[in-house]
Structure 1
Amino acid sequence: MDRAPGPSVRLKLTLSYTGFLILPAVLVLAALAAFLLRYQELAWDNEAGVIIAPPGRFLLRSFAPAAATVMTFLLVFGLVGGWILAGRMLAPLTRIMDATRTAAPGSLSHRIRLPGRRDEFRELADAFDAMLALLEAHVAEQRRFAANASHELRTPLAISKTLLDVAGTDPHHDTGEVIDRLRAVNARAIDLTEALLLLSRADQRSFTREPVDLSLLAEEATETLLPLAEKHGVTIETRGDVTPTSGSPALLQQLTTNLVHNAIVHNLPGQGMVWVTTSAHPGSVILTVENTGEKLTPQLVSTLTEPFQRSTERIHGDQAGLGLGLAIVATITRAHDGTLTLTPRDTSGLRITVQLPARTHSQS
């Protein structure tokens, strides 16, 4: 915004300090002058016929130079002292402003780290440092996401080009096989593109909130993925309470489906278990999905919600996926003002908990 130049805050504070210093002095001197004018009367000696007390005007003439000297001293003292005091008080604000100018072009690694005890300026500096740290992490995540997305999208295109080149140079190559492989590669590229669009849509919160029961969504996701679970030899157990919340039914359905699908495909082959539980609490509802599987470390678990992050099993398994399942879950949870928690189970596998705000009567 283009603003007209104006006096600095330091100058305004200096003038304010000086004004508060001069005003009481002026009032005191004015009261003293009024007192002298009112109560200093002529005192005559009737026998001698002379004045034995000086008149008020004479006292004022003697008082005025001293008062002017005092006022001049207070004015100079107020201006100089106010300027120095305002500068010391505004020094933290200057550091914050310099940090803002440094961060404006995109340099987010700078921190203010304002020393001293807590006050308004230091709370502002700490909040600004926290905001810079959050922005830096978000920008780094977006850069990794863009690089990984470019790589993932480039892979099917490169495979398609190779298949077409081989088919073009070898006229006797089986055309049907090439078409089938191109169809599979193209389907994977479409799935990846739709997943990226879903991530963007959820992150922008461009949806209408409606009443939703997480327990019903969990049952629907379980029924839909039951054939996949039977194929992998995984048993699913579903239990829980009615869990009323509000949000996008489509996005929350995608969330529950991704969680159950993730628990099925990253499980023990032929003897795996998945537990889907819903519970209602004061002010919140919770969806928990647990599964057996490989032993996971807390370090690995902390990275699973990042886009295109894959565990060893996900890389080498037949259900490679897109690496976006849990990233989509994290984005949808965040868009619904919820909390996503991933913890490795004591024995093996993973426990994922989604906590969302409960639906109030005004939202029903």
Structure 2
Amino acid sequence: MDREPGPSVRIRLTLSYAGFLMVAGVLLLGAMYWYLVSSLPDVTSVAGGHLLIRSDLLRGFLPAAVAVMAVLLVVGLLGGWILAGHMLAPLTRITYATRLATRGSLAHRIELPGRQDEFRELADAFDGMLARLEAHVAEQRRFAANASHELRTPLAISKSLLDVAHATPDQDMGRLLDRLRVVNTRAIDLTEALLLLSRAEQRSFTPEPVDLSLLAEEAAEALLPLAEEQGVTIETRGEIARANGSQALLLQLTTNLVHNAIVHNLPGHGAVWVDTAAGPGTVTLTVENTGEKLGPDFVSTLTEPFRRGTERVRTDHAGVGLGLAIVQTIAQAHHGTLTLAPRPAGGIRVTVELPAAAPPVEP
């Protein structure tokens, strides 16, 4: 926004201090003058037998008052300038940090010293904002780099396959087409996952009551063939758990959790448990699975984009590495939380906690 130039805050504060001091001086001198006029007699005898005439005293009062006001003006301007500079010094540091941030330098911090006051609250809030912004930018850059790498991989494989086919035209074209189909499917899955992640981050949906228990049953039924193929049993249980949100996104969240629990499991004799519960003000969806024993530090990294859990059991259905990242983003878009914890016997326990929807109004 274009603004017309004006006096600085320091000048305005200086004039305000000086003006206040001048007004106080005028009021004080006016009170003294009123006292001389109303209280002193025309002639007053003082020590030594001298007479003090009130008219002479009043005539001498005006030059003295003017001199006092001149001194007050000088003191007010100089003192106000110094005091204003001292008071605005923290604001200067905040302005400098803001300008650095606008130029892309997010590592700078104000770190305003001294006791807590309004300026220090503002500086601390700004430092906290810079820290969160720096972490967010770093995360976005990391995500962009990983996404570029992941998208480049199927394209590079396709190019290699086509180069080989061009160099050796007598090779089995059916096998080539099958491999290209697999690579293309992976690229499509990754692109759709990125679009879903972006949609969840933008919260571009209209909230409506959604029963998580129904979504759990739907996801388990849809993934039952995959579970049977992997030799994994699925058990759903729990109670009605209504949350406000997007049914499509919450179904994607549930499906991702159940899919991860199936493919990262013990081959041939694994198990998955899906549970829903309703509490005071919140509802929870919990997905547990069997598997290898995992450390808490490793489990805490599984929500990072493109982290596929290389130390866990891998299958051809391991996905593109965005499953839990999408789950976390969808949970946050619904003002919820995602918690991952290793199970003592092996595998992990994933809990999504969301605000509960208002109970339906009975007619």
Q: TM-score, normalised by structure 1?
A: 0.92
2:297 to 296, 299, 304: 299
Conservation of the 8 A alpha-carbon contact between 2:277 and 2:283: yes
Match in the other structure for 1:48: none
> How far 1:35 moved relative to its partner?
2.6
Q: CA deviation at 1:43?
A: 5.1
Evaluate the alpha carbon distance shift between residue 276 and residue 15 of structure 1 in structure 2; reply closer, same or farther with a 3 A threshold. same
Asked if the contact 1:246/1:363 (under 8 Å) is kept, the reply is no
Cα separation, 1, equivalents of 2:253 and 2:329? 9
| Aligned residue number for residue 107 of structure 2 | 109
Could you tell me which amino acid in structure 2 is paired with residue 29 of structure 1? Answer: L
The 1-side partners of 2:67 and 2:361 are apart by 71
CA contact (8 A) 2:44 2:53 kept: no
Tell me, which stretches of 5 or more residues in structure 1 are unaligned?
46-50
Partner of 1:9: 9
SS in 1 for 2:278: strand
1:70 Cα deviation from its structure 2 partner = 2.4
> Structure 2 vs 1, CA of residues 245 and 81 (structure 1 numbering), >3 Å: closer, same or farther?
same
Shift of 1:129: 1.2
Match of 2:278 in 1: 280
Relative to structure 1, the CA distance from residue 42 to residue 119 in structure 2 (aligned partners, 3 Å threshold; closer, same or farther) is closer
Paired AA for residue 340 in structure 1? L
**Equivalent residue, structure 1, for 2:182:** 184
> What CA distance in whole angstroms lies between the structure 2 residues aligned with 1:312 and 1:264?
15
Q: 1:351 to 1:277 in 2, by over 3 A?
A: same
Q: Is the 8 A contact 2:22 2:73 kept in 1?
A: yes
Distance 1:86 1:303 in 2: 50
Query: Among residues 89, 92, 109, which one is paired with 1:91 in the alignment?
Result: 89
Equivalent residue of 1:312, what SS? coil
Deviation at 1:276, TM superposition (A): 1.5
Q: Does the CA-based 8 Å contact 2:264-2:314 persist in structure 1?
A: no
Question: How many residues of Structure 1 are paired with residues of Structure 2 in the alignment?
Answer: 358
1:196, distance to aligned residue in structure 2 (A): 0.7
- Residue 314 of structure 1 contacts residue 321 of structure 1 at CA under 8 Å; is this kept in 2? no
Instruction: Assess, with a 3 A threshold, how the Cα gap between structure 1 residues 134 and 167 changes in structure 2: closer, same or farther.
Output: same
Shift of 1:302: 2.1
Normalised by the size of structure 2, how large is the TM-score? 0.92
Distance 1:363 1:344, change over 3 A: farther
Q: 1:241 to 1:44 in 2, by over 3 A?
A: closer
Conserved? CA contact 1:232–1:270, under 8 Å = yes
Question: 3-state DSSP class of the match of 1:108?
Answer: coil
Structure 2 counterpart of 1:123? 121
- C-alpha distance in 1 between matches for 2:281 and 2:85: 48
- Pairwise mapping of residues 67-78 of structure 1 onto structure 2 (< 5 A)? 67-78=65-76
CA distance in 1, matches of 2:325, 2:173: 37
The one-letter code matched in structure 2 to 1:15 is L
Deviations 1:168-205 (A, max 9, x none): 22222111111111111111111111111111111111
Could you say if the C-alpha distance between residues 280 and 315 of structure 1 is closer, same or farther in structure 2, counting changes exceeding 3 Å? closer
Q: Distance in 2 between matches of 1:98 and 1:335?
A: 34
- How far, CA to CA, are the matches of 2:297 and 2:44 in structure 1? 101
Corresponding position of 1:30: 30
Q: Is 1:263 aligned to residue 241 of structure 2?
A: no
- Counterpart CA distance in 2 for 1:107 and 1:140 is 12
Q: Gaps spanning 5+ residues in structure 2: where? A: none
How big is the shift at 1:316? 4.6
Pick aligned residue for 2:173 from 172, 175, 179: 175
1:277-356 paired onto structure 2 within 5 Å: 277-313=275-311, 316-356=314-354
Structure 2 residue matching 1:287: 3-state secondary structure: strand
- Give CA-to-partner distance per residue, 1:74-109, whole Å, 9 cap, x none: 222222222212211211111111111111111111
Report SS of the residue matched to 1:293: coil
Give, in whole Å, the separation in 1 of the partners of 2:136 and 2:266.
34
Note if contact 2:265-2:313 (Cα within 8 Å) is conserved in structure 1: no
Structure 1 residues 106-255: aligned runs within 5 Å: 106-255=104-253
Question: 2:23, 2:289 → 1: CA distance?
Answer: 76
CA RMSD, Structure 1 to Structure 2 (Å)? 2.2
Structure-1 separation of matches of 2:341 and 2:97: 37
Answer whether contact 1:266 1:313 (CA < 8 A) is retained. no
% identical equivalent positions: 70
Inter-partner Cα distance in structure 1 for 2:331 and 2:44? 96
In 1, the alpha carbon distance for the partners of 2:307 and 2:297 equals 13
- What is the distance in 1 between the residues matched to 2:89 and 2:273? 57
Question: Do the aligned partners of residues 347 and 118 (structure 1) sit closer, same or farther apart at CA in structure 2, a change above 3 Å counting?
Answer: farther
Q: Which amino acid aligns with 2:53?
A: P
Please say if residues 299 and 342 of structure 2, whose CA atoms lie closer than 8 Å, have aligned partners that are also in contact.
Answer: yes
CA distance 1:251–1:44, change in 2 (3 Å)? closer
Give the Cα separation in 2 of the matches to 1:321 and 1:154. Answer: 16
Deviations 1:249-281 (A, max 9, x none): 101110011011111111112222222222222
